[in-house]
Structure 1
Amino acid sequence: EAEAMDEYLCPNCTEAQTAQGYESASSSASSTQATLCRADYPLVWRLLETVADHRMSWPFRQPVSLEEFPNYLEIVENPIDLSIIQRRLENLEYQRLKDFTRDMSRLFENARLFYPRDNNVYQCADTLEKIFEHSLAEVRAEIDARINGRKVSESQTIDSSLDIDTDQLIDVNLDVDPTMFLL
């Protein structure tokens, strides 16, 4: 059953991600599910820059050296680094915020999978993930506000267009012979 799905997250992982502030593919959170629009990309860029500019991001800026760690690909199936995430963002490959957060989450998970708990890179991943989660909450709030603001303004436009005064009606020329419309 899991192999037939596009994306499978075990129940434990789903609970852990939700607890960490990440949303699963089935989540109903509007900022996570909504398609990113042009106004959202500066927010996502800010999120990436918050992580990439941090002094503890040095291990994640470039791919892991396979010369230095020849067994890396035996342990980490889907390697990713900040340069890949940046390129995807530049190419507008992220359709939804959840796509971006999935890559960021994988970055941190890969570090914890490969490096021992007492390793500097493991600790950098933990620190950066906390910073990312905090910034992600702010970005989600901004995107939700935009989405909800748009919905409100659209409904107000519809409501106000139905609620007009008679003095707003266009003057109709009454010189028209009404019998002209009779069959």
Structure 2
Amino acid sequence: ALLKFVVSITKHRWAHPFKRPVTEKEAPDYREIVTDPMDFSTLRKKVEGGAIRDVASLVSDLNLIFNNAMLYNPKGSDYHTMASTLK
């Protein structure tokens, strides 16, 4: 059920910026601002590998994805809006 949810949220029309880790090329200062990065592909691996076994852990990592995006991207930006909508 957890994996099914992760797969379904990655199909949302605004999920594309969160599907893979942010690269240094895309955002050179990202790791200076976001100390605990998370994305849907990493989350899926954690679910498949058994590191996430309950809804609370899944929600925690989902919130991390969206909170990171809202921390890094200014309010009103597309990424901030996408993250706050998905959250």
**Category of TM-score, reference length = shorter chain:** over 0.9
Shift of 1:46: 2.6
Question: Identity across aligned pairs (percent)?
Answer: 29
- 2:15 is paired with a residue whose SS is helix
Shift of 1:68: 2.0
- 1:99-124 deviation digits (Å, cap 9, x = unpaired): 11110010010000000011111111
| Distance in 1 (alpha carbons) for counterparts of 2:58 and 2:35 | 18
Match of 2:19 in 1: 61
| Distance in 2 (alpha carbons) for counterparts of 1:63 and 1:122 | 16
Determine which of 25, 40, 53 is the counterpart of 1:95.
Answer: 53
Q: Give RMSD over aligned pairs.
A: 1.0
TM-score with structure 1 length normalisation?
A: 0.46
Match of 1:127 in 2: 85
Does 1:111 pair with 2:39?
no
- 1:125 is paired with a residue whose SS is helix
- The runs of 4+ residues in structure 1 deviating greater than 4 Å are none
| Distance in 1 (alpha carbons) for counterparts of 2:7 and 2:84 | 17
Shift of 1:98: 1.1
Alignment coverage as a number of residue pairs: 87
| Distance in 1 (alpha carbons) for counterparts of 2:27 and 2:66 | 17
The higher relative CO (CA closer than 8 Å, separation ≥ 6) is in 2
